[in-house]
Amino acid sequence: MKIHRKKTSFKQQLLISFCLISIIPLLLVNIVAYYNIANKVQKNVDEMKAFSLEQTKRNVSTVISSYEDLLYQLYTDDDVASLVDKIDAGRDVAVSRNQLRRKLGAVANVKEFIQCITVITKNGNVLYYDKLATPTKNVVWIDKYGMTPTELYNQVSATNDTKILPTKYVDKFNSHEYYLFHITHRILEYKNINKKNAVVILSIDERMLNEICRQNLGSEGNEKDSLHIILNNDGNIISFEDSKKIGNKIVKINSTQKKQNDAYINFINDNGYLEVKNLKVYKAYDDILQWHFINVSDQSMVVNEMSNQQQLTIIIFIVSVMMLILIIYFITGQLSGSINKIVKAMKKAEQGELTVRVEADENMPVEIETIAHQFNSMLEELNDSIEKEKDATLKQKNAEISALEAQINPHFLYNTLDTINWMAIDKDEYEISNAINSLAKILRYGVDKSNSVVAIKQEIDWLKKYLFLQQTRLKNTFECILNIEPEVVDYHIHKLLLQPFVENAIIHGFEGVKRTHILEISMSVGEDTINISISDNGKGISEEKLRELRIGLLDDNEEKCHIGMTNAISRLKMYYGSQAKVQIDSTLGEGTSIYIEIPKL
C-alpha cells in the first residue's frame, strides 16, 4: 500500500526558508557593515592626518627653500667675497665692514623671521647683522653652540653643501625668548671655486616653523586634539609649540617603530599637552632637510564614532529583521500566485493548446514576467517555425545566386587595365602608365591567395608600389623612408599585414598637419623575431582611442582607419598567436609609432 505524504506548498516553503536563512546573513551584513564603516572612518582620519603632516612637511621645505635662495644670493655674491677678502687683508677695514653690514642688513630685512646674518672669515673675523644684538652685546647665538668662530668656520667650510644647524635657545630680547636654527654655506668665488675664505650663516626664528605647523593643525579642525613635533636625525626637538622643550631629546631615531611611537606618546602624556588616552602617532621624513615630522593626535573622536555606529548597527538589525519578515510574507504570496498562473498555462500547452498565453499583471515579479514572455514567445516561434525555415532556405538560394552574379573575373580586370596602360603609352602619358602598372600589380598581389605566406622581399616590393601610388595620388605631399636590413628579405611574412598601418598613417595620420609629412618604415632581425616599426609625425591618436585600440574595444561607429588597424592586429594574433606582439605609442600633435614583433619564418 502506497502512503502519500502531505506536501507543503511552494509559498510555505519560501516563507519558512526565508525566515530561517535571512536572519544570519542580515546579522553578518550588519557586522561587516559596522567593521567596514569603522575601518573607513579610521582610514579617513589616518589619510587626513597623513595629508596634513605631508602638507606641513612640504610647506616647511618650500619656505626653507626660499631662505636658502637668499643665502645663495649672499654666498655667490662677488661683492661679498671681495669685502671679506679686504677685511681679512686689513684693507679699508672700517669701510668694508660698514658696506658688508649694509648688504647683510638688506637681505635680513627681506623676510620677517631672519634674526641674524653672520659671516665668519678664515682668519676668525666675525661680521654680522644681528637684530637681537645691542650696543653692549655682540652676536649672541654662537656661544650657545659651545664652539669658537674658527671651529664653526672649519665645520661649515669642510664641504660645499648647505648645512642646517639645529634649533637652540639664544637669548631673551624685549621679554621674548628666541630660539634660532641656522642655514649655512661656504662663500663661493666662481673665479676660484676651491677657495675657502669665509662662511655665511642665516639665523632664522623657530617661530616660523611653529606657525606653519599651527596653520596645518588649524586646517584639520580642532588643533587642541593634535600636536606637531619636528626632530632632527639625533632625535632632538627642532620645533614644538612649547619652546622650552626645543633641543630636548625625545627618542633614538634608530630604535624600533613601537619604541619611537611609545616615546612620542609618553612625551605628550607626561607633559600634559593632550588630556586623553587614545593617542596615535603619524610620521613623515624630509630627505633633504633630514628632519622628522611627527603628529600626535587624539583618536577619541574615532572611538566615539565607532561606538555610536555599533549602537546604530544593532538598532538597524532589529528593525531590518522585522521589516524583512513582513516583506517576505508579502513577496512569497505574489511569487507563488504568479508561478501557479504559468504552471496552468504550461499544462494547457502540454495538451496541445498552443494558442494559450500567460497574461502578465502589475503584481507579477520581473523575473516571473520574463519567464511568461519567454513562454509566450516560445509558443509563437513554434507556430512560425515552418514558415521561417522556408523563408531562410529561399533567402540562402537567392544570396548564392547574387554572389555568383556579383563575381568579376580577375583576368578581365587585369586585361582591361593592360589595355588602358597601352592607351596611355600611345599618348606618351608614362606617369599614368606607371600608376596603372603599379595598380595592376597591387591588385594581382592582393587577390591571388591573399592569406598566403610570402618572402618579405615580395611584401616590400608590393609596399613600394603601394607607396608610389599613394604619393602619386597625394601629389608627393609626404616623404617615405624605408630602413630594411638586408638579412630581413629572405624571411617570410603573411601578405598585406602592414598595409592597414601604413594606410592609417598616410590617409588619417597626416590629415590637417601643416608640417612636412614623414613616414618611416623599418624592419630588422632580432634573436628569434622580425622587428617592424611604422612611425609618422602626424596628428597622433587621443588617449581614449589609443586605449580602445590596445584592448580591441571599438564601437560600430568608429572611423574605418581604427577598425582597419584593429582587424590587422587580430590577423597578427590569429596567424602568430602569443608570439606576435604589437605596441602602439602616440602623442596628440606629434605622431604615432607602431612596433610589431613576429616570429621568424
pLDDT in tens, 51-108: 888 888 999 999 999 999 999 999 988 888 889 988 888 888 889 889 999 999 889 8
Q: pLDDT (tens digit, 9 = 90+) per residue, 298-341?
A: 777 766 777 776 777 777 777 777 777 777 767 666 676 777 77
- How many DSSP H helices and E strands does the chain contain? 14, 16
Residue 426, domain member (yes or no): no
More confident residue, 424 or 86: 86
Secondary structure class of 535 (helix, strand, coil): strand
Residue 115 has pLDDT above 60, yes or no: yes
Which pLDDT band, with edges at 50, 70 and 90, does 465 fall under? confident
On whether both 125 and 255 belong to a single domain, the answer is: no
Q: What is the CA radius of gyration of the chain?
A: 42
> What is the domain count for the chain?
3
Query: What residues make up the domain containing 261?
Result: 222-298
Q: Which of 181, 209, 237 is the last residue of a domain?
A: 209
Residue pair 491/449 in contact by the 8 Å Cβ criterion: no
On whether both 110 and 152 belong to a single domain, the answer is: yes
Q: Which domain CATH number covers 525?
A: 3.30.565.10
Give pLDDT, residue 402. Answer: 41
Q: What's the Cα-to-Cα distance from 53 to each of 91, 175, 282, 286, 287, rounded to whole Å?
A: 51, 32, 8, 11, 15
Give pLDDT, residue 3. Answer: 47
d(CA 550, CA 536): 18
Residue 470 has pLDDT above 70, yes or no: yes
d(CA 88, CA 199): 13
Which pLDDT band, with edges at 50, 70 and 90, does 520 fall under? very high
d(CA 57, CA 366): 57
Q: Which of 146, 179, 209 is the last residue of a domain?
A: 209
Task: Identify the bridge partners of residue 483 per DSSP, sorted by sequence position.
Answer: 522
Residue 534 has pLDDT above 90, yes or no: yes
On whether both 92 and 178 belong to a single domain, the answer is: yes
Average pLDDT of the residues in 41-52: 82
More confident residue, 206 or 23: 206
On whether both 200 and 226 belong to a single domain, the answer is: no
- Give phi and psi for 229, each to the nearest 5: -130, 140
Q: Which domain CATH number covers 287?
A: 3.30.450.20
On whether both 230 and 203 belong to a single domain, the answer is: no
On whether both 198 and 227 belong to a single domain, the answer is: no
On whether both 237 and 204 belong to a single domain, the answer is: no
Residue 444, domain member (yes or no): no
Name the residue among 446, 443, 450, 404 with its Cα closest to residue 420: 443
What pTM does this model have?
0.49
Q: Which three cell numbers stand for residue 238?
A: 627642532
Give pLDDT, residue 400. Answer: 43
d(CA 554, CA 563): 7
302: number of CA atoms within 13 Å, CB side?
A: 22
On whether both 466 and 580 belong to a single domain, the answer is: yes
Residue 348, domain member (yes or no): no
Q: Which of 247, 264, 298 is the last residue of a domain?
A: 298
Give pLDDT, residue 529. Answer: 92
Residue 451 has pLDDT above 50, yes or no: yes
Q: CB under 8 Å to 140, separation ≥6 — which residues?
A: 130, 132, 133, 170, 171
On whether both 481 and 503 belong to a single domain, the answer is: yes
On whether both 204 and 294 belong to a single domain, the answer is: no
Q: pLDDT (tens digit, 9 = 90+) per residue, 361-403?
A: 776 767 777 777 787 777 777 767 756 666 655 554 444 434 3
Residue 125, domain member (yes or no): yes
Residue 556 has pLDDT above 50, yes or no: no
On whether both 143 and 260 belong to a single domain, the answer is: no
Considering 95-99, 131-135, 364-368, 551-555, the range whose residues carry the highest mean pLDDT is: 95-99
- Label residue 206 exposed, middle or buried (CB < 10 Å: 0-12, 13-18, 19+): buried
